[in-house]
Amino acid sequence: MNVTVIGAGLSGCEAAWQLAERGIAVTLWEMKPHKKTPAHHTNDFAELCCSNSLRSDHIENAVGLLKEELRVLGSLLMTCAEETRVEAGGALAVDRHGFAQLVTAKVKAHHLITVMDGEVTAIPDGEVIIATGPLTSDAMSDAIHGLLGDTKDLHFFDAAAPLVTAESVDMESAWMAARYDRGTADYINCPMDKEQYLAFWEALSTAEEAEVHGFEDKMVFEGCMPVEVMARRGRETLCFGPLKPKGLPDPKTGREPYAVVQLRKDNAEGSVYNMVGFQTHLRFPEQKRVFSMIPALKNAEFLRYGVMHRNTFLNSPQLLDRYYRLKSDPRITFVGQMTGVEGYVESTASGYLAAVELSRRLQGKPPINFPAETAVGALGLYVSNQSIVNFQPMNINFGIMPPLGRKVKGKREKNLEIADRALGLAEVISQEVQP
């Protein structure tokens, strides 16, 4: 038995690992280093193209629950994330390069995974997992179009935030803290008073954007909204979004500033920081001009400017089943962001579920039921829900999981009970699917 996995991103690496751990030989194709997309900068597998954060690590948050389920189930990528973790308050953030290097090393070292370098331009025979991501190459896109016939793929635009060096941040105009003092003081907080903010907002709202073919504000995924698009929605919109000052009193005054830009550690050494929520597609000179208006960043050294790229996803409810298999040809499975699961952890979960189910089918075992009461199962059921008319990419959220069926006072308490229910189910499932 051999399975071909195309693409060594997050979902592809997770899928390849889970198959190999269950005794299935895997041929893993990756087109890097021979060919890269505009969003890729290294030759490593599982490269984090946007933020280095895997978001909240609290189980009363849906993505925190999803991560905990994956830990219980034995996810490779969650293990690597923990080993390369950098402090980020209540979030799980990783050393971007250390994480990718560790995943690459582990995958390449597995005796049942054969890594092949080069671009795959046609869908091969046999069992195939397509994990080519939202920036699938033109040749593979054409092959997928040929496979799907008249069914049209969809797309939206995604953006990455700039990176700055820690030593270039003016700490006389900033301070270290976590919001509401939760966790350790891992964020650099860059305040602005009202006059500074309004000047910044005006410059940001009118700054010149880089040309992105076919771009419209309405085609931006809400979870990765470019900061300039958000600014154009209203003068105070940023103050309720990425520049929210709540819970961040300035230690010099004891009062909350008018607006606060947060910087999050991007590597283990703490020498590089990410501008939180500052995904952008402004021209590079404009990014330098406008973002340097933030007092603490007046002399900032930008290691990477923000970039914008097109993300493609399938009309999955019409095409895929709950295990991410193509309904018209079940030997072919799609995983990752191209299925419409949005986010690093969600992509990992799709690779995990698809691989576990495929391994069971190849070994003659009955299908495994990941119910909607689990976050892993809820994602698979969302992307295969044919009742969805206007399908859009989705982060995991409690809204796609069944309610408890009883009233619980308080949102946090209710979410904790949903999480407890999910983790109890995940523990049972883990015993059934463990290698």
Q: What CATH code is carried by the domain that includes residue 42?
A: 3.50.50.60
CA distance 111 to 103: 15
Domain termination site, one of 309, 344, 366: 309
Residues 141 and 234 in one domain: no
pLDDT at 240 (0 to 100): 94
Residues 94 and 167 in one domain: no
Tokens 């500074």 sit on residue: 196
Residues 323 and 251 in one domain: no
Rg for the chain, CA atoms, rounded: 22
Cα 119 to Cα 47, 372, 434, distances in angstroms: 17, 36, 32
C-alpha closest to that of 157 among 98, 249, 222, 237: 222
Residues 241 and 367 in one domain: no
pLDDT at 35 (0 to 100): 79
Residues 284 and 173 in one domain: yes
Tokens (6 digits) for 52: 């280095």
Residues 106 and 130 in one domain: yes
pLDDT at 215 (0 to 100): 47
Domain termination site, one of 281, 309, 337: 309
CA distance 165 to 188: 12
Domain termination site, one of 249, 284, 309: 309
Q: Which amino acid is at 266?
A: D
217: DSSP letter: G
**Residue 394 β-bridge partners:** 341
Q: What is the span of the domain harbouring residue 164?
A: 160-309
Residues 356 and 260 in one domain: no
Residues 119 and 165 in one domain: no
Helix (H, G, I), strand (E, B) or coil at 250: coil
- This prediction's pTM: 0.75
C-alpha closest to that of 320 among 354, 356, 366, 344: 354
For the chain, what is the domain count? 2
Residues 86 and 185 in one domain: no
Mean pLDDT by runs of 10 across the 435 residues of the chain is 96 98 98 76 87 92 97 98 92 94 98 96 96 87 83 65 92 94 88 97 92 51 77 95 95 95 89 91 93 97 81 87 96 95 95 98 95 97 85 84 89 94 98 93
How far is C-alpha 120 from the chain's CA centre?
24
Residues 340 and 387 in one domain: yes
Is 327:386 a contact under the CB 8 Å cutoff? no
Residues 304 and 327 in one domain: no
Neighbours of 103 (CB within 10 A): 26
CA distance 89 to 243: 17
How far is C-alpha 362 from the chain's CA centre?
30
Residues 147 and 51 in one domain: yes
Tokens (6 digits) for 422: 């999910």
Tokens (6 digits) for 203: 């410059």
Is 423:415 a contact under the CB 8 Å cutoff? no
pLDDT at 342 (0 to 100): 87
**CATH label of the domain that carries residue 270:** 2.40.30
H-type helices in 341-402, by residue range?
344-362, 375-383
pLDDT at 216 (0 to 100): 47
Please name the helix (run of DSSP H) or strand (run of DSSP E) that holds residue 160, with its range, or none.
strand 154-160
